[in-house]
Amino acid sequence: MGIIHDKPMAEDPGAFDLIQIFAARAAAALKRRRAEAGLQAALEQVQALQQRLQAENIYLQEEIRTQHNFEEIVGRGPSLFHVLKNVEAVVPTDTTVLITGESDCGKS
């Protein structure tokens, strides 16, 4: 960046101060633009990481569903279906579920 004039600069302290102010403002503007570019790059990185986390979350939710698909439970009655639906509602959480019922009715 430069200032070009077709005449020599007079030894005016006011003119020199004006050029220093201009230079300081230009430097501040350049510094701000660099900071904005850095923030934009950081934002893009955060967005990419967010998308990656969302994809991993979907993958892990699917893994939970396939691992906890209740294949070992024998029974097809409406009562059991209702219990399993309630259990599926809390599968994504870190919650313990207690299924109660009579002995030897297949709760294990």
For position 53, what pLDDT does the model report?
A: 95
- % of the chain with per-residue pLDDT over 70: 84
pLDDT for 7-48, tens place per residue?
A: 777 788 787 888 889 889 999 999 999 999 999 999 999 999
3-class secondary structure per residue, 21-75 = HHHHHHHHHHHHHHHHHHHHHHHHHHHHHHHHHHHHHHHHHHHHHHHCCCCCCCC
pLDDT in tens, 60-71: 888 777 766 666
Residue 55 has pLDDT above 90, yes or no: yes
Q: Where are the domains of the chain?
A: 13-90
- The model carries a pTM of 0.47
